[in-house]
A and B are shown apart, each in its own frame.
Chain A
Amino acid sequence: MKASTQDILPAPKRSALARFRDSDLYASFRRSKLAMGAFAVTLLFFLLAVAAPWISPQNPYDPAQLELMNSSLPPLWYADGVSPFALGTDDQGRDVLSAVFYGLRLSLVVGLLGVVVSGFLGILLGLVAGYFGGVIDTLIMRVADVQLTFPAILIALVVDGVAKAALGSQMDANAAIGLIVLSIGLSFWVQYARTVRSSVLVEKNKDYVQAGRLIGLSSPVIMVRHVLPNVLGPVFVIATINLALAIITEATLSFLGTGLPDSMPSLGTLIRTGNRFLFSGEWWIVAFPGLALAGLVLAINLLGDWLRDALNPRLQ
């Protein structure tokens, strides 16, 4: 008995990586050059974001490090470019490369938190709606329907505006991040809720849920332990695609001037402030944040597309 447990138990642990290597998902990943490229680019952006404080020549949030003497320098490959400002500087003397690294970091943090909040909200509401049914279900799904008729950006703007009205329009950067995460969370929960709910409706009538009830497991335990694992695949796909959407939403809000403040610029804020210099010839101030945002979103989108196709063999 003892020997056999020892034989059995360590096995799956050791082979988790090996199992992934044998999986269809991995095989499909290895077949798709696009997916591998997108994954590499996404990974690179994540690494840059994490390493930003150590690899940036400058801390763009620290006004003490900005010198007006260095303002509006072009990128290094121009004759009057100055080291270490590889991608030039803006009118404040802020290093564009450092600003992009830090902006990337902010965009990713806000995007990820937004996805977590919307995912949590959506899964919770989907579970509740599907499991309890009746009035609660109708109420939640009607709200979802109504919300779905509006573009997410509008919802996010309204949430943002209302919150500012309620809290006063002056707030510090951290509160602004919290608010924007909340706006994104409230804008993107519907898709999770719908997916989870329909899956719950299917699982609810299956034998194992009935059996779980018979042996006295409580409803929430059954739902969380048995239904949740079954919906993780689609939820993961939604989350990946929504990460790109969340990043776009944050960037858009910041671009519209209702997102993150200028003192703590995300990629969207950098593009908004840099946009002014398009006509005066200092294109690098807006171009590099724009390129970073475009590359990041494109890579995540490609990854999401591939993941959706790979996890949904019906569509192939």
Chain B
Amino acid sequence: MIAFVLQRLLQSIAVLFAVGLIAFSMFRFAGDPVNQIVGVDTPYAERVAIRKDLGLDDPVAVQFLRYAGNVVRGEFGTSYQFRQPVSALLAERMPATLELALCATIFALTVGILMGVYCALRRETWLAKVFLAISLVGISLPTFLIGILLIFLFSVTLGWLPSFGRGDTVRLGWWTTGFLTASGLRALILPSVTLGLFQMTLIMRLVRAEMLEVLRTDYIRFARARGLTTRSIHLGHALKNTLVPVITIAGLQLGSVIAFSIITETVFQWPGMGLLFVQAVQNVDIPIMAAYLLLVAAIFVVINLVVDVLYTIVDPRLRLSTGRSA
């Protein structure tokens, strides 16, 4: 177990290192950092001085180490657009994104599992077929189109829900939350559904397929032969075995949810990190892009680790084996 976690940890560090290298290269080689800081009319001597100040004349390896050191301390440089430290910008926007991602994941998990279980257990009903059709549409349509459709229906036509922003937020220390106000909660609904819909269809299809698979196994047949109630077979034995792989995928998807929030945040003008990133790409604000990339990578890596550990806790067969690959 410990060896397994250690091995995973090493892999994670390697991934972070690789992404860090990419982030650094973006930072250093995509365009001249000096140009981003000074105006066109800055004299050459001053440029040289700034170059020296920024340490751009040092060997690349030294620069990378310095960059890595800064990153570890939470220093991601200064945004070209906002003239503010990137870390402060990200910290300010992080609560919005995390709350959105959390709601989207809860939505995707609950609805996805319920629909998936229903589709597996009542395979022939028309409702199951409707669910499957919805899932196909959900998996095919681009997220932004779904967002626009929802806005058109619920904001423009029906006028029930807001179409942009977070509503009123409450400040708790450095964290701002939309969970504590009615308008904040209302503002969360459409973006969460938009962001979670893709994951929901994925989870639904996965649960359905896994459950159908599990229902065919010998131990379910044996459970039936022992006269256990259908309820305890389906919702106890079958569901638990179904959820093991689902937890893994859903957990891994949490990272994608955060990354995919780029699109949802743009559609709903949600003041999170994703919107910041898109604006950075539009305005070639490399420090923000690099920092966001690193942050997402770090989130991915942490989620991967947590999922792996969770997986071994849920499935007793894995607790003994240490060298699980893949």
Q: Is B281 an interface residue (CB 8 A)?
A: yes
CB distance from B273 to the nearest CB of A (A): 12
Is there contact, CB below 8 Å, between B140 and A165? Answer: no
Contact with A along B127-150 (1 / 0, CB 8 A): 000000000110111111100110
Q: Is B220 an interface residue (CB 8 A)?
A: no
Is there contact, CB below 8 Å, between B148 and A278? Answer: yes
A302: chain B residues within 8 A (beta carbon): 136, 140
Closest to B144 in A: A255
Is there contact, CB below 8 Å, between A297 and B141? Answer: yes
Q: Is B113 an interface residue (CB 8 A)?
A: no
B15: chain A residues within 8 A (beta carbon): 146, 149
Is there contact, CB below 8 Å, between B30 and A255? Answer: no
Q: Is A298 an interface residue (CB 8 A)?
A: yes
B277: chain A residues within 8 A (beta carbon): 157
Is there contact, CB below 8 Å, between A301 and B300? Answer: no
Is there contact, CB below 8 Å, between B19 and A146? Answer: yes
Q: Is A257 an interface residue (CB 8 A)?
A: yes
A275: chain B residues within 8 A (beta carbon): 148, 267
Is there contact, CB below 8 Å, between A150 and B263? Answer: no
Please classify how large the interface on chain B is, using the bins under 10, 10 to 19, 20 to 34, 35 or more.
35 or more
Closest to B142 in A: A248
B152: chain A residues within 8 A (beta carbon): 278, 283
Instruction: State which residues 294-309 of B face A: CB under 8 Å.
Output: 296-297, 300, 304
Q: A298-B137, A301-B140 are in contact. Are A153 and B148 (CB under 8 A)?
A: no
Stretch in A22-30, A84-92, A286-294 touching the partner: A286-294
Is the contact region of chain A dominated by helix, strand, or loop, or is it mixed? helix
Q: Is A44 an interface residue (CB 8 A)?
A: no
Please report the C-alpha to C-alpha distance between residue A165 and residue B289 in the assembled complex, in whole angstroms. Answer: 11
Q: Is A271 an interface residue (CB 8 A)?
A: yes
Q: Is B54 an interface residue (CB 8 A)?
A: no
A251: chain B residues within 8 A (beta carbon): 142, 144-145
Please report the C-alpha to C-alpha distance between residue A158 and residue B291 in the assembled complex, in whole angstroms. Answer: 12
Q: Is B239 an interface residue (CB 8 A)?
A: no
A157: chain B residues within 8 A (beta carbon): 262, 277-278, 281
Candidate in B19, B262, B281 with the most chain A CB atoms within 10 angstroms: B281
Is there contact, CB below 8 Å, between B263 and A256? Answer: yes
Please report the C-alpha to C-alpha distance between residue A297 and residue B259 in the assembled complex, in whole angstroms. Answer: 22
**Chain A: interface residue total (CB-CB under 8 A):** 38
Instruction: State which residues 151-194 of A face B: CB under 8 Å.
Output: 151, 153-154, 157-158, 160-162, 164-166, 169
Q: Is A279 an interface residue (CB 8 A)?
A: yes
Candidate in B31, B136, B145, B277 with the most chain A CB atoms within 10 angstroms: B145
Q: Is B260 an interface residue (CB 8 A)?
A: yes
Is there contact, CB below 8 Å, between A301 and B139? Answer: yes
Please report the C-alpha to C-alpha distance between residue A165 and residue B152 in the assembled complex, in whole angstroms. Answer: 36
Is there contact, CB below 8 Å, between B145 and A161? Answer: no
Selected contact of B281 from candidates A248, A258, A297, CB within 8 Å: A258
A290: chain B residues within 8 A (beta carbon): 145, 148-149
Q: Which chain B residues have a beta carbon within 8 Å of chain A's beta carbons?
A: 15, 18-19, 26, 29-31, 136-137, 139-145, 148-149, 151-152, 156, 163, 255-256, 259-260, 262-263, 266-267, 277-278, 280-284, 286, 289, 293, 296-297, 300, 304
17 contacts between A and B (CB under 8 A): A146-B15, A146-B19, A153-B262, A154-B293, A157-B281, A161-B26, A165-B26, A166-B30, A169-B284, A251-B144, A255-B266, A256-B263, A256-B266, A275-B267, A294-B145, A297-B140, A298-B137
Known: A153-B260, A165-B30, A298-B141; 8 extra A-B contacts, CB below 8 A, are: A143-B18, A161-B284, A164-B281, A166-B30, A258-B278, A290-B145, A290-B149, A298-B137
User: 6 closest A-B pairs (Cβ-Cβ)?
Assistant: A165-B30, A161-B281, A165-B31, A301-B140, A248-B142, A298-B140
